[in-house]
Amino acid sequence: MAGNRSRRRLLAAGIACALSGGLAACGGSPETSSKGGVVTVTVNGMPPKTQPVDRKYFEEDVRAFEKEHPGIKIDAREGFMDPKTFSAKLAGGQLEDVYYVYFTDPSGLIQRRQGADITPYVKDMPYYEDIDPQYLKVFTGPDDKLYGLPNGQYSLGLVYNRALFAKAGLDPAKPPTTWEEVRTAAKKVTALGDGTVGYADYSKNNQGGWHFTAWVYSMGGDIAVRKDGRWKAAFDSDAGRNALDALHAMRWEDRTMGTRQLLQIEDVQKMMGAGTLGMYMAGPDNIPTIVKQFEREYDEYGVAAMPGEATLGGGNGFMFNPKASPEKIRAGIEWVQWKYLNPERTEFEDKRAQGNDVPIGLPLDRLFTGEAQAKRDAAHEKYANVPTENFQPFADRNGQLAQKVEPPNAQQIYTVLDGVMQAVLTKEDADLDKLLADAAKKVDGILATVK
């Protein structure tokens, strides 16, 4: 396995093979980028001063990395990839050597040749072989070359109230795995009365469209597909209709979604925090928000994987300036691997975070497979301060689901799909076929602008 390889170090320019990270190719002397043979790499993604703890950790890590890698200097900057200014920064020579992107960015950046091909530089990267292939695929171009590395990911599932499940006669350790089971559980929770709602969903501020996308994915469909070089809407399909049928049935037949609609994330989290909601679609990262804002306890909640066969996932990573020299790319990859893709540091990071009210043990950022992920899991288990067994249903099943990213021009599409969600949840006589067909025409127009 890649994790058992010796750690080599990229010490200085002029050395044909790196001596620590295994990232420099043999057979030539890389060019120097600064005086004294030290490679200076500009990177973004440094937390702002308004996040003092994260900023402190980041600065500590930079110092530790530079101590271990005396041939590399990290010039860290705040900020992320901004589509509005990106091209101008690249053209003007202001773009960092290593820049932060979301999973929705790489496809377009690769097509526009705005990211460097890093394929030759990762062959000996520690733990590279253990990175989950589906996340590397996000950074893989049509030419099958690699243009970036992931450093974080999320997947939607079901957050649920374990106490309400138990009170309703449901087993909190065995949450639903199909939408039919969700309907059954929602009915039992709603039957508890006193204003209890079995299942809630979003339908405004683009959040409805986001969740409708997740519904369609879980039903085996797509929101958009690329064919013959063009993107087209794909949700006017069996999967789209099945998603609307399920929502309509829970809202109007089962009466398990409550009467108040046009909800967004804050509304639903408030319901969960008040103990009046059984389930809603979300990722494990919602749990700390609920616990802190509403003074609840972690053991009150569980997380299940998304019902069905796929889930909407997202995340972030780093790509590399196409104008960067080979030695800067090698050094940048060394930094990304050491800082973000390093199971060897997981225990240190968990121990460091213990005293800062950081939840440890939630099933987040599962970027690896096999032994590498097992090593990270073992560290999280050792320092866990949350009941990890409550989130095991998510961890056990989420890896079996297809992880699908957001469509191109996602936010514009979500605005259209908000209207679909709102109609289904507020109009009992909504024409589902017409809703899908009309929305598809609008989305086709949005997708026509995608290059």
Q: What is the pLDDT of residues 195-244, one digit of tens each?
A: 999 999 999 999 999 999 999 999 999 999 988 889 999 999 999 999 99
Residue 17: pLDDT band by 50, 70, 90 thresholds? Answer: very low
Beta bridge partner(s), residue 281: 158
Q: Is 16 left (phi over 0), alpha (psi -120 to 50) or beta?
A: alpha
Q: Indicate whether this model's pTM tops 0.85.
A: no
Check: CB of residue 201 under 8 Å from CB of residue 211. yes
Residue 36: pLDDT band by 50, 70, 90 thresholds? Answer: low
SS (H, E, C) the chain: CHHHCCCECCCCCCCCCCCECCCCCCCCCCCCCCHHHCEEEEEEEECCCCCHHHHHHHHHHHHHHHHHCCCEEEEEEECCCCCCCHHHHHHCCCCCCEEEEECCCHHHHHHCCCCCCCHHHCCCCCCHHHECHHHHHCCECCCCCECEEEEEEEECEEEEEHHHHHHCCCCCCCCCCCHHHHHHHHHHHHCCCCCCEEEECCCCCCHHHHHHHHHHHHCCCCCEEEECCEEEECCCCHHHHHHHHHHHHHHHHCCCCCCCCCCCHHHHHHHHHCCCEEEEEECCCHHHHHHHHCCCCHHHEEEEECCCCEEEEEEEEEEECCCCCHHHHHHHHHHHHHHHCCHHHHHHHHHHHHHHCCCCCCCCCCCECHHHHHHHHHHHHHHCCCCHHHHHHHHHHHCCCEEECCCCCHHHHHHHHHHHHHHHHHCCCCCHHHHHHHHHHHHHHHHCCCC
> Tens digits of per-residue pLDDT, 346-374?
999 999 998 777 899 999 888 999 999 99
Residue 30 pLDDT > 70, yes or no? no
Residue 9: pLDDT band by 50, 70, 90 thresholds? Answer: very low
> Tens digits of per-residue pLDDT, 160-179?
999 999 999 999 999 999 99
